Structure 1
């Protein structure tokens, strides 16, 4: 289970990684395994619409059981499938890097973090740094 404290740690480290690397301001959302929000933060200067993007990245990851990189590859190979999935989930997914699965010590999916604000690859790197700092394993 992802506690509030650990979710906040993931977000704190993800946003700090972006600041350390001089990336654009990041926004991060942590969801539980059911797709419910545990914690959220928008870095100083981040656009307000970034919340929805971060949530969609995380939501797609947790609902499909695959990270954003795998979702993007699937979208490129089978756009019709990912379009259908997005329709099924009411337009709530964003199949690009930055949506990262959070796995427990046994490898089970316990949630996801969505990070947005810079390049998608940098977003994913920030998410992975946060996950690791909280003691979990991530799958980008």
Structure 2
């Protein structure tokens, strides 16, 4: 498999939103990026604030461009804030280093792209995203 097919990107979004509903989360916004950081698909639920695209994108973009999921980025930001600030500057301020930025891998461990979820707490965003990715038959690294 080369990258995330659009059909699977749509499945990831649909299943992430369904998981959010089952968990009783606030309205979510979900983005799927390819392995180069390009947008494949995005949806923002009714009731989500308009800035959620940028937040979801920043979570997903940091994950795929650094090759490190949001949870690990947050730990790195706490341990080495100057490094994360420099990386964020290199990425034009697009990095949002918190949970909810999820790497998407295939069964062999290859990075296919990333998912960014925002709208509830970062940990809940990550859990909903994991459910969506796994429902699409892929591996989530949160």
TM-score normalised by L of structure 1:
0.99
Shift in Å, 1:83: 0.2
Choose which of 69, 72, 75 in structure 1 pairs with 2:71.
69
What RMSD in Å do the two structures reach over aligned CA positions? Answer: 0.5
CA distance in 2, matches of 1:131, 1:21: 16
Choose which of 123, 130, 133 in structure 1 pairs with 2:132.
130
Partner residue of 2:141?
139
Choose which of 12, 15, 25 in structure 2 pairs with 1:13.
15
Partner residue of 1:4?
6
- Number of residue pairs the alignment of both structures matches: 140
CA distance in 1, matches of 2:55, 2:28: 11
Unmatched 5+ residue regions in structure 1? none
Give a deviation string over 1:93-137, Cα, whole Å, max 9, x none: 100000000001110111000000000000000110011011100
Shift in Å, 1:19: 1.3
Choose which of 99, 102, 107 in structure 1 pairs with 2:101.
99
CA distance in 1, matches of 2:45, 2:20: 9
Partner residue of 1:41?
43
CA distance in 2, matches of 1:47, 1:4: 25
Unmatched 5+ residue regions in structure 2? none
TM-score normalised by L of structure 2:
0.97
